[in-house]
Structure 1
Amino acid sequence: MIFFTTQEIEQWINEDAPLLDLTSRLLHISSQPSRLTVVTRHPVRLALTEEAGRIFELLGCRITKQIASGEDVPAKTVILAAEGPADALHRGWKVAMNLLEYMCGVATRTAELVAKVRECGNIPLLVTRKHPPGLKKPLLKAVLAGGAYPHRLGLYETVLVFDNHLRLVGGREALPALLAEMRAAGCEQKITVECDDLAQAVQAAEAGADSVQFDKAPPEQLAAWCSELKARFPGTALLSAGGVGPDNVQAYARSGVDGIVLSSLYHAKPADLGVTIELLPGS
Structure 2
Amino acid sequence: MIFFQTHEIEAWINEDAPLIDLTSHLLGIENQPSRLSVRSRHPTRLTMMEEAARIFELLGAEIIFVMPSAADVDAGSLILQVEGRADALHRGWKVAMNLLEYLCGISTLTAQMVSEVQQVGDIPLLVTRKHLPGMKKPMIKAILSGGAHPHRLGLSETVLIFENHLNLIGGRDSLPDRLPKIQAAACEKKISVECDTYEQALQAALAGTDLIQFDKVEVGLLNQWCSQLKTQFPQLKIIIAGGIRPDNIRLYAQSGVDGIVLSSLYHAKPADLGVTIELL
| TM-score past 0.5 threshold | yes
Shift of 1:169: 0.4
Q: Distance in 2 between matches of 1:198 and 1:149?
A: 27
What per-residue deviation string (whole Å, max 9, x for no partner) do you get for residues 73-118 of structure 1? 1011110000000000000000000000011100000000000000
* Residue aligning to 1:235: 235
Aligned equivalents of 1:82, 1:219: Cα separation in 2: 49
1:209 matched residue in structure 2: 209
Deviation string 1:202-245 (CA, Å, 9 cap, x unpaired) is 11111110000000001111011001011011101000001111
The one-letter code sitting in structure 2 at the alignment partner of 1:207 is A
- Helix, strand or coil at the partner of 1:79: strand
Matching of residue 22 in structure 1 with residue 19 in structure 2: no
Establish whether residue 42 from structure 1 lines up as the match of residue 39 from structure 2: no
Q: Secondary structure at the match of 1:20?
A: coil
Distance 1:178 1:14 in 2: 49
Measure, in 2, the Cα distance between the counterparts of 1:89 and 1:104: 21
Please name the residue that 1:245 is paired with: 245
Q: Partner letter of residue 115 of structure 1?
A: S
Give 1:26's aligned amino acid. Answer: L
SS at match of 1:105: helix
CA distance, structure 2, for counterparts of residue 44 and residue 173 of structure 1: 49
Report the residue type matching 2:239 in the other structure.
L
Paired position in structure 2 for 1:122 = 122
Shift of 1:24: 0.2
C-alpha root-mean-square deviation of aligned residues, in Å?
0.5
Aligned match of 1:52? 52
Moved over 6 A (4+): none
Unaligned runs of 5+ in 1: none
Tell me the distance in 2 between the aligned counterparts of 1:10 and 1:122. 39
Q: Aligned residue for 1:104?
A: 104
Amino acid at match of 1:55: I
TM-score (norm 1): 0.98
Q: Which amino acid aligns with 2:260?
A: I
Alpha-carbon distance between aligned partners in 1 of 2:100 and 2:148, rounded to the nearest angstrom: 18
- One-letter amino acid of the counterpart of residue 225, structure 1: W
Partner Cα distance (1:6, 1:245) in 2 = 36
2: distance between equivalents of 1:219 and 1:48?
A: 35
Stretches of structure 2 lacking an aligned partner (at least 5 in a row): none
Aligned residue runs from structure 1 range 267-278, under 5 A: 267-278=267-278
One-letter code of the match for 2:126? L
What letter is aligned with 2:72? D
Aligned residue-pair number:
280
Identical-pair percentage:
65
Structure 1 SS opposite 2:221: helix
2:178 is aligned with 1:181: no
